[in-house]
Amino acid sequence: MVAETLAHKLNSVPHVSCLRQIAKLHGLSTEKDLIEESVARGCFHFLQSDQPPARKVDEDTFSNEQLAIAMLTIANPYDLWLLRAGAMMLSHSRNDFRQIVRYARHERSEAVVKCIAEAGLRYEPDNEFWTQLLCELPPTSAIKEGVLPHHSRYVSIPGKIGPGKMGKPVWLRPRNLTSLGYAA
């Protein structure tokens, strides 16, 4: 049985992902490999061991923008965990929104990126990255509710931080290894 793809869930035509083919050339063959690479690049929210995995490929060879869209391509099997990690990688502080738009177009994933960017703007209305990204993306059809993770799955919600005071949700984005106590 063939795994259901994100394209199927979006009622779109499945295709072969060029970015996934490039990722395979660099040792990122499976969805798990892509997530582990994103963890190695700072997506510690998805770390499932005591230590982060080692990088398999450097950012100059396979950029953060490429990695993000490789996780968000509609050619992937439908996997909410992969989509959430892709959303986190999408928001890397050094990402170029123009490159993201370029890769999203090639992968037919503009609607997915747009939905995530709209969620980003909801939580970070002053972050120009989300505004610029949304301005550059072409018009797309709305994605049916329930296909992508709920916007609250892209943030950390701290809960109660004091008497009668709730913490503000914070968008999840990659962080430096040393900021979390790991040697670089």
Q: What is the domain range of residue 59? A: 6-180
| Inside any domain, residue 49 | yes
| Inside any domain, residue 64 | yes
DSSP-derived 3-state class of residue 157: coil
| Inside any domain, residue 151 | yes
* pTM attached to this predicted model: 0.90
| Inside any domain, residue 24 | yes
* Number of independent structural domains in the chain: 1
Q: How far apart are CA 152 and CA 123, in angstroms?
A: 9
Q: Show the DSSP H helices in the chain as ranges.
A: 6-9, 18-25, 31-40, 64-72, 80-90, 97-106, 110-123, 128-136
Per-residue model confidence as pLDDT tens for the chain (184 residues)? 567 999 999 999 888 999 999 999 999 999 999 999 999 998 787 776 667 778 899 999 999 999 999 999 999 999 999 999 999 999 999 999 999 999 999 999 999 999 999 999 999 999 999 999 999 999 999 999 999 999 999 998 887 777 878 888 989 998 876 555 555 4
Q: How far apart are CA 73 and CA 137, in angstroms?
A: 15
Cα 152 versus chain centre, distance: 14
Measured from the Cβ of residue 122, the count of other Cβ atoms closer than 10 Å reads 15
Q: How far apart are CA 154 and CA 168, in angstroms?
A: 13
| Inside any domain, residue 1 | no
pLDDT in tens, 146-180: 999 999 999 988 877 778 788 889 899 988 765 55
